[in-house]
């Protein structure tokens, strides 16, 4: 099975907001980098590309043939997807275990595990 | 004959369905195959007699029907485990036994990726063999709601890749808690007055104790349910709950209390000191006359400590 793991940062401190990032101890900050690195090197993982901050998102709709754009993500900024990765695994249990290792899951965010459908 | 069929259905539905799910890797397909097998039995057994091993007959028949169905539908075949099964396996299952996969089934139904109400419904449908209508009535939910809940859960198991297995050692403690919680929840619904659910929970508890003989909490839960259920006839008078002190003890089921104590002893012998074992021990002490209040109080304190629950501390025995 293939899964996409969607990383929702939520309240997770990230280097994008230096103040919040500084609230983590140096060890915690190092652990975040080390954990992401270890996850990206886990067999079966295809790391996602880096996404710009949700604030830089533009949302597009088409109504009556007219393209409408709005500033910001489709959902609230806090609920927006902050990153993703692909994981080829035997089953959902393996995907859940990998998701639990993603730092955002323990720092105020959440990981959504979605199976990939092969048509 | 109808009675025999009903008994076989009652006893074997869970095992037959579990084996078919294990073989086919698909809940919906397996359920259809099991239903078809039981329907064929209902037609043939009165005429030809009951086969010597009804469960094996049902699994074989269900398998063959599913294989026929899959052959008719190639796209479906591509998506099931069937293709990896060697040809000759289709015609014969081992003549005496087939693997008992009920444990795999219950752990799959109680997977934490499913909502608890879906877990409960799935367990009652697959292992208990209750119909969707019966489950809907038991939980006071409209039938279409319950049907949708079951379908959605079965599809999620397949689409999300929830494995059909007993979880590995590192996941087992948490997953077992989830399984016991579902059985306890079913029992509690029954304890509130709907007796058929209590009976269902007892059957599940007995099956679990048989399948996981070395897990003290499994025996603890079964012992607790047996001991509480033994007082069922005394717990209601004119639809009003009768507190323990006012219950007519002659209405207690003494042999079931004895059964419960044997199961409790087994849990204690396995060094069980978890919440279900402690609750079973409390229920056992409540069945004594006169009651050993200091001992009961000590066990409630222990229960509050291990469950860290203020509700327990304020709970007065009834």
Domain shared by B149 and B224, yes or no? no
Q: Please name which of B185, B230, B183, B189 lies closest in space to residue B211, comparing C-alpha atoms.
A: B183
* pLDDT band, very low/low/confident/very high, at B192 (cuts 50, 70, 90): low
Residue B163, C-beta contacts closer than 8 angstroms, at least 6 positions apart: A90, A91, A92, A93, B108
Q: Out of B59, B86, B113, pick the residue that ends a domain.
A: B86
Which residue of chain B has the CA closest to A91? B161
For residue A60, CA distances in Å to A56, A74, B294 come to 13, 9, 70
User: In this structure, is residue B200 part of a structural domain?
Assistant: no
Identify whether B274 is part of a domain: yes
Q: Are residues B223 and B294 in the same domain?
A: yes
Residues of chain B positioned with their CB less than 8 A from the CB of A89: 161
Nearest CA-CA distance, residue B226 and chain A, Å: 34
Question: For residue B225, is it within any domain?
Answer: yes
Do B76 and B175 belong together in one domain? no
* Same domain membership, residue B115 and residue B68: no
Which residues on adjacent β-strands are paired with residue A113? A5
Same domain, B108 and B68: no
- Mean residue pLDDT of chain B comes to 87
Q: What tokens were used for B273?
A: 């000191």
Residue B248 and residue B315 share a domain = yes
- Is residue B218 located within the same domain as residue B276? yes
A96 shares contact with chain B (CB less than 8 Å): yes
Query: CB–CB of B120/B40 below 8 Å?
Result: no
Asked if A95 has any chain B CB less than 8 Å from its own CB, the reply is yes
Same domain (yes/no): B148, B59: no
Half-sphere exposure (Cβ direction) of A110: Cα atoms closer than 13 Å: 6
Name which of B160, B165, B168, B174 to mutate to probe chain A: the one with the most chain A Cβ atoms within 10 A of its Cβ: B160
- The answer to the question of residue B189 being in a domain is no
pLDDT tens-digit series, residues A68-111: 999 999 998 888 999 999 999 999 999 999 999 999 999 999 99
pLDDT at B86 over 50: no
Give the model's confidence band at B80: pLDDT under 50 very low, under 70 low, under 90 confident, else very high. Answer: low
Contact (CB, 8 A) for B190 and B200: yes
Tell me if B198 is assigned to some domain. Answer: no
Taking only the tens place, the pLDDT of each residue in B121-139 is 999 999 988 899 999 988 8
Host H or E run for residue B264: helix B254-269
Q: How many CB atoms lie within 10 A of CB B121?
A: 26
Partner-chain contact A93 B160, CB within 8 Å = no
Residue B317 DSSP symbol: P
**Domain stop point among B132, B163, B183:** B183
Beta-strand (E) ranges in chain B? 236-237, 240-241
Total tally of structural domains belonging to chain B: 3
- Domain's final residue, options B163, B183, B203: B183
Q: For residue A54, what is the DSSP state?
A: G
Among residues B133, B164, B132, the alpha carbon closest in space to that of B150 is found at: B132
Distance CA B82, CA A88 (A): 22
Note the pLDDT tens digit of each residue in B7-59. Answer: 888 888 999 999 999 999 899 999 999 999 999 999 999 899 889 889 999 99
pLDDT digits (tens, 9 = 90+) for A32-77: 999 999 999 999 999 999 899 899 999 999 999 999 999 999 998 8
Q: Does B1 touch chain A (CB under 8 A)?
A: no
Q: For chain A, how far is it from start to end, CA to CA, in angstroms?
A: 13
Question: Contact A115/B159, CB-based, under 8 Å?
Answer: yes
SS3 B127: coil
Our CA dihedral for B48, B53, B56, B60, rounded to 10 degrees, sits at: -20
The per-type count for chain B, helices as H runs and strands as E runs, is 16, 2
* Chain B CB within 8 Å of residue A111 CB: no
* Domain region containing B35: 2-86
Contact at CB, A93 and B159, closer than 8 angstroms: no
Buried b (16+ CB within 10 A) or exposed e, B92-104: ebeeeebebbbbb
Q: What is the set of domains in chain A, with CATH numbers?
A: 2-115 (3.30.70.1060)
Within the 98-117 window of chain B, which residues sit less than 8 Å (CB to CB) from chain A?
A: 111, 113
**Backbone phi and psi for residue A82, each to the nearest 5 degrees, phi listed first:** -105, -15
User: Is B191 inside any structural domain?
Assistant: no
Taking CB atoms and an 8 Å limit, are A3 and B161 in contact across chains? yes
Residue B293, pLDDT score: 93
Within this chain, do residues B106 and B78 fall inside the same structural domain, yes or no? Answer: no
Q: Which of A103, A80, A85, A102 is nearest to A21 (CA)?
A: A103
Question: Most B CBs within 10 Å: which of A5, A88, A92, as the mutation test of the B interface?
Answer: A92
CA distance to partner chain A, nearest, from residue B36 (Å): 30
Decide: B216 and B272 in contact? Cβ < 8 Å.
yes
CB contact under 8 Å between A90 and B111, yes or no, is no
Residue A90 CB partners (closer than 8 Å, separation 6+)? A1, B161, B163
Assess if residue B172 is contained within a domain. yes
Measured between beta carbons, the chain A residues lying within 8 angstroms of B159 are 115, 117
Q: Closest residue of A to B164, CA-based?
A: A91
Beta bridge partner(s), residue A61: A68
Integer CA distances (angstroms), A9 to B55, B93, B256, B279, in order: 51, 51, 54, 42
Interface predicted TM-score (ipTM):
0.87
Return the CATH number at B164: 1.10.10
Residue B83 has pLDDT above 60, yes or no: no
Residues 26-85 of A with CB under 8 A from B: none
pLDDT over 90, % of chain B: 64
Annotate B137-164 with DSSP letters as a single string.
HHTT--HHHHHHHHHHHHHHHHHHT---
Give the H/E segment covering residue B29.
helix B27-48
Which pLDDT value is given to residue B210? 93
Size of interface A-B (CB pairs under 8 A): 25
Secondary element (H or E) of residue A88: strand A81-88
Contact B204, B222 (CB under 8 A): no
The verdict on a CB contact (< 8 Å) between A90 and B160 is no
Is there a single domain that holds both residue B275 and residue B300? yes
Separation of alpha carbons B123 and B110, rounded Å: 8
């Amino acid at each position: 099975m293939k899964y996409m793991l969607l990383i929702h940062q939520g309240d997770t401190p990230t280097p994008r907001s230096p103040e919040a990032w500084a609230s983590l101890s140096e060890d915690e900050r190092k652990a975040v980098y080390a954990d992401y690195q270890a996850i990206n090197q886990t067999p079966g993982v295809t790391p996602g590309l880096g996404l710009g901050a949700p604030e830089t998102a533009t949302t597009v709709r088409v109504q009556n043939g007219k393209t409408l754009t709005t500033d910001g993500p489709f959902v609230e900024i806090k609920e927006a997807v902050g990153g993703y990765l692909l994981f080829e695994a035997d089953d959902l249990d393996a995907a859940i275990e990998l998701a639990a290792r993603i730092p955002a899951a323990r720092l105020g965010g959440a990981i959504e595990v979605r199976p990939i459908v092969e048509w | 004959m109808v009675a025999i069929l009903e008994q076989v259905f009652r006893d074997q539905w869970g095992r037959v369905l579990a084996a078919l799910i294990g073989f086919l890797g698909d809940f919906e397909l397996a359920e259809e195959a099991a239903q078809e097998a039981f329907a064929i039995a209902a037609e043939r057994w009165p005429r030809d007699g009951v086969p010597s091993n009804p469960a094996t007959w049902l699994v074989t028949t269900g398998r063959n029907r599913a294989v026929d169905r899959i052959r008719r539908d190639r796209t479906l075949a591509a998506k099931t485990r069937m293709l990896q099964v060697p040809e000759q396996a289709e015609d014969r299952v081992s003549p005496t036994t087939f693997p008992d996969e009920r444990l795999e089934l219950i752990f799959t139904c109680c997977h934490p990726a499913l909502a608890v109400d879906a877990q409960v419904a799935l367990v009652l449908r697959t292992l208990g063999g209750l119909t969707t209508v019966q489950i809907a009535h038991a939980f006071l939910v409209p039938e279409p709601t319950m049907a949708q809940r079951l379908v959605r859960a079965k599809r999620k198991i397949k689409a999300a890749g929830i494995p059909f297995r007993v979880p590995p050692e590192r996941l087992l403690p948490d997953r077992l808690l989830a399984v016991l919680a579902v059985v306890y929840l079913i029992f509690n619904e029954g304890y509130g007055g709907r007796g058929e659910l209590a009976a269902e929970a007892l059957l599940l508890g007995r099956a679990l104790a048989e399948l996981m003989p070395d897990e003290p909490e499994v025996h603890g839960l079964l012992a607790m349910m047996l001991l509480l259920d033994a007082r069922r006839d005394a717990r209601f008078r004119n639809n009003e709950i009768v507190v323990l002190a006012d219950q007519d003890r002659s209405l207690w089921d003494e042999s079931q209390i004895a059964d419960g104590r044997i199961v409790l002893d087994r849990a204690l012998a396995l060094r069980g000191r978890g919440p279900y074992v402690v609750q079973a021990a409390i229920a056992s002490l409540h069945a004594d006359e006169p009651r050993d209040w200091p001992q009961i109080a000590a066990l409630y304190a222990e229960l509050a400590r291990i469950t860290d629950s203020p509700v327990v501390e304020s709970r007065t025995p009834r």
